[in-house]
Structure 1
Amino acid sequence: MDRELLQSLYRYCLCLTASNAQAEDLLQTAIESWLKASSRPVQLRAYLRKVIRNQFIDDCRRLKLVDFEPLDDNAPALLDEACLEEIEIQHNLIEHLFELLNSAEREVLYLWAIEGYSAAEIAQELQQPRGTILSRLHRIKLKAAALVLNSSAQNIGGQ
């Protein structure tokens, strides 16, 4: 297991939990489970993501947290001040969007935007209908568009 895989899995945990401490605990639990297993999976990344997701769902059930909604079916080397300001604005928008999403939407966003999966690949990975994944992506895009519109309106009103 290399550092890149650990970082990727940590980011996945963080997308599910929205908490650094919980993400660390979730990753540690998954790695412990893998180390205790008698056989070694062929696709380690997929195996560990599945363990992480199942553990997260179990933890939510245990704590009686319902975070799922019912569903219908390398920065540039040289940066100037304007570029840094734009990056900060985008970072703030992403943080606000992240707060608006539930864990199911954050998981889909992670697999789609970070891992580069298609809707069909996400559906297969999560063992859910493709329509469900497309619905989540659509809701994510609506929330992002609303956030950008609100941000633009505030910037215009504040000038």
Structure 2
Amino acid sequence: MQFDATLLNRLFRYGFAFTMQREAALDLVQQACEKALKQPPDDKRKLEAYLKVIVRRLYLDGWRQQQQYPLELFTETEVVDDEASIEQLMVDQQQLSRLMPMLSPQQRELIYLWAVEGWTIDEIAEQLGEPRGTLLARLRRVREQLSRLPEESYGVSR
């Protein structure tokens, strides 16, 4: 099994969306690759999805067991079904680095998959195994949080 540079870069950005720390993100990617080499996915075509699940679980395990990463709540249950208004929130990728530190790890993961990777809410829900409405609620909270900040500080156009 080989990990090409494009895949590793995508995994690094995914890990960085959780940790917001370069070295910690690199560690997550390395650990994920090691685990994938020891226990390869059943379907080689789904390697990236498999590795992202590992990165996510490693982050959560590190947070729970060793308190390696900042303590932030990782549960939200509000259900919203207003995708049309939320989809109008457009994140300027040049300003994404300023936006990410303001968000929780869950919100950063969602914004990364949605704004950077370009996934739909349905694709994200399937990937994360979470209800679509929960993800829409997270996006709404991000939008509300951003609306309370001065526009020049977060680089988001509405």
Structure 1: segments with no counterpart, 5+ residues: 74-89, 153-159
2:57 aligned partner: 54
Instruction: After superposition, give the CA deviation of every residue in 1:94-139 in whole Å (9 maximum; x if it has no partner).
Output: 3332121010000000110111111111111111111110011111
Query: For the structure 1 residues 151 and 133, does the alpha-carbon distance in structure 2 shift closer, same or farther, using more than 3 Å as the test?
Result: same
Amino acid paired to 2:53: K
Number of matched pairs? 136
Give the TM-score, by structure 2 length: 0.76
Alignment partners' CA distance in 1, 2:41 and 2:140: 39
Shift of 1:36: 1.3
The CA RMSD measured in Å over matched residues stands at 2.3
1:67 aligned partner: 72
Alignment partners' CA distance in 1, 2:128 and 2:18: 13
Tell which structure's C-alpha radius of gyration is larger.
Answer: 1
Divergent runs of 4+, >6 A: none
Question: Which has the higher relative contact order, 1 or 2, with Cα contacts under 8 A spaced 6 or more apart?
Answer: 2
Query: For the structure 1 residues 92 and 123, does the alpha-carbon distance in structure 2 shift closer, same or farther, using more than 3 Å as the test?
Result: closer
Query: For the structure 1 residues 129 and 93, does the alpha-carbon distance in structure 2 shift closer, same or farther, using more than 3 Å as the test?
Result: same
Alignment partners' CA distance in 2, 1:70 and 1:56: 15
Please, which of 110, 113, 126 is the counterpart of residue 111 of structure 1? 113
* Residue identity (%): 34
- Greater share of helix residues, 1 or 2? 1
Query: For the structure 1 residues 21 and 142, does the alpha-carbon distance in structure 2 shift closer, same or farther, using more than 3 Å as the test?
Result: same
